[in-house]
C-alpha cells in the first residue's frame, strides 16, 4: 500500500468513526423534539434540512420553553449558530473542490465534523475522502437516529442520561487534539474556551460561538498575513 493509499484509508476510517459516534446523538434530538411538541414530520424536516446539531437543539430548546411566541428568537439563535458553517466553507471550499450541483451538496455537508476530519488530513486527496466520508456518513446516520429517537419518544426517558452528548464531544475532541501539539494552537484553544465561558451568561444563544469564531479568524488573518514572519511557538512537551 502506498503512502497515498494509507492516508486516504486512514481518512476514511476516521470519517466513519466520527460519523458513527456523532450519529448516536441524533437519538437525543429526535426524542427531545417530539417530547417538546414537534410532530414526527417536523422533527425529520428539521434534521434533513437544517442538519446542524447545535442549531437544531437551540431551536427546539427555545420553542419548548417559550412556545410559538419564541419562534423568532429560536430562528435567530439557530441561524447565529449556523453562521459558523459558512465560515468553515471558506476553509473547505478549496480543499473539496466541488463543482456544479455537487457544490450545493458539499455546502450542506460542511459541518463541524466533516470540516475537522477533512482539514486534519495530510494531503488534498485524503482531505476530500475524509470530508465526504464524514459528511455523507453522518447525514445518513444522524437522520436515521433522529427517526429512531422520534419514534421511541418518551420510552427513552431523559436521553441525556445515556451520555451520548459526551460521546459526540469526545469524538470531536479526538480530532482536534492532534492539532494542539504546538504552543500557538494551545493558546488559541484555551483563549477560545475562556472567552466562550465568559460570554455565555451575557449573550443570547449562538452569539458566543459566533464571537469566538470571528475572533479566531481575525487572529488567523493577523498571524498569517500581517505577521507571517513571526516564529511558531515551540512544541509542547507532554
In contact, 47 and 158? CB cutoff 8 Å:
no
Q: What is the pLDDT of residues 97-140, one digit of tens each?
A: 888 889 999 999 998 889 888 888 888 899 999 999 999 999 99
Supply the pLDDT for residue 55: 78
Q: Give every CB contact of residue 95 below 8 A, 6+ residues apart in sequence.
A: 118, 119, 124, 127, 128, 131
**pTM, whole model, 2 decimals?**
0.70
Reported confidence tier of residue 237, pLDDT bands at 50, 70, 90: very low
Q: Give every CB contact of residue 170 below 8 A, 6+ residues apart in sequence.
A: 21
Ranges of each domain in the chain: 3-177, 180-238
Amino acid at each position: 500500500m502506498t503512502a497515498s493509499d494509507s492516508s486516504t484509508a486512514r481518512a476514511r476510517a476516521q470519517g466513519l468513526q466520527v460519523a458513527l459516534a456523532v450519529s448516536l446523538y441524533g437519538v437525543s434530538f429526535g426524542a427531545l423534539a417530539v417530547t417538546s411538541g414537534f410532530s414526527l414530520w417536523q422533527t425529520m424536516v428539521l434534521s434533513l434540512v437544517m442538519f446542524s446539531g447545535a442549531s437544531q437543539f437551540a431551536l427546539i430548546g427555545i420553542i419548548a420553553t417559550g412556545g410559538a411566541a419564541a419562534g423568532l428568537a429560536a430562528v435567530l439563535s439557530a441561524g447565529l449558530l449556523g453562521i459558523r458553517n459558512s465560515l468553515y466553507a471558506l476553509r473547505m471550499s478549496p480543499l473539496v473542490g466541488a463543482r456544479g450541483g455537487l457544490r450545493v451538496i458539499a455546502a450542506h455537508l460542511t459541518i463541524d465534523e466533516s470540516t475537522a476530519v477533512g482539514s486534519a488530513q495530510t494531503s488534498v486527496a485524503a482531505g476530500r475522502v475524509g470530508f465526504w466520508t464524514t459528511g455523507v456518513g453522518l447525514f445518513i446516520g444522524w437522520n436515521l437516529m433522529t427517526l429512531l429517537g422520534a419514534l421511541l419518544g418518551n420510552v427513552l426517558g431523559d436521553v441525556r442520561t445515556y451520555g451520548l452528548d459526551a460521546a459526540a464531544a469526545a469524538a470531536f475532541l479526538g480530532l482536534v487534539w492532534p492539532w494542539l501539539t504546538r504552543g500557538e494552537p494551545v493558546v488559541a484553544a484555551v483563549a477560545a474556551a475562556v472567552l466562550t465561558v465568559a460570554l455565555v451568561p451575557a449573550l443570547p444563544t449562538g452569539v458566543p460561538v459566533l464571537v469566538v469564531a470571528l475572533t479566531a479568524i481575525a487572529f488567523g488573518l493577523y498571524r498569517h498575513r500581517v505577521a507571517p514572519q513571526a516564529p511558531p511557538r515551540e512544541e509542547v512537551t507532554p
